[in-house]
């Protein structure tokens, strides 16, 4: 089971991480695998602390999806960051804020769809 989060700042920018192991451009939403009996939000907070050194506030569950081929369930959240995101793991090359109209080139179609879904759900709630 994995978690991911769309972290927005007060200017409406979205935080994306350039990940060493992510296919395509490397950019995508932050998150990671749950360990042991971790609850989803607890695991998400741990991953974000480990990878970019920030705490999360205003955490809200948005949706889940199942990746049947991988036999994996992903849980998506929305949040705000407390602190300045800085890579703290060998897995993360960069952490940068992007306007939704200026997402990084080469962002995978799957990541674009996920971001669009997050924005749509956020606007409707």
Structural domains of the chain, ranges and CATH numbers in brackets: 2-123 (3.90.79.10)
Average pLDDT of the chain to the nearest whole number: 91
pLDDT digits (tens, 9 = 90+) for 57-101: 999 999 998 877 767 899 999 999 999 999 999 999 999 999 999
Task: Tell me the residue ranges of DSSP E strands in 40-91.
Answer: 55-67, 72-82
Provide mean pLDDT across the span 17-40.
87
pLDDT digits (tens, 9 = 90+) for 54-67: 999 999 999 998 87
Q: What's the predicted TM-score (pTM) here?
A: 0.91
Q: How far apart are CA 54 and CA 83, in angstroms?
A: 5
Q: How far apart are CA 113 and CA 110, in angstroms?
A: 5
| Residue 124: band (very low, low, confident or very high) from pLDDT cuts 50, 70, 90 | low
What does the block give as tokens for 50? Answer: 């480990």
Q: Beta strand 72-82 with 2-7: parallel, antiparallel or unpaired?
A: parallel
């Amino acid at each position: 089971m994995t978690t991911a989060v769309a972290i927005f700042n007060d200017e409406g920018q979205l935080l994306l991480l350039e990940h060493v192991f992510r296919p395509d451009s490397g950019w995508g939403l932050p998150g990671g695998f749950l360990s042991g009996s971790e609850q989803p939000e607890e695991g998400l907070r741990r991953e974000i602390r480990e990878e970019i050194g920030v705490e999360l506030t205003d955490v809200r569950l948005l949706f889940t999806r199942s990746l049947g081929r991988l036999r994996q369930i992903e849980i998506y959240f929305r949040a705000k960051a407390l602190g300045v995101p800085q890579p703290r793991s060998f897995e993360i090359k960069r952490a940068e804020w992007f306007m939704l109209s200026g997402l990084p080139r080469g962002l995978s179609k799957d990541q674009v769809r996920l971001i669009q879904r997050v924005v749509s759900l956020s606007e409707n709630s």
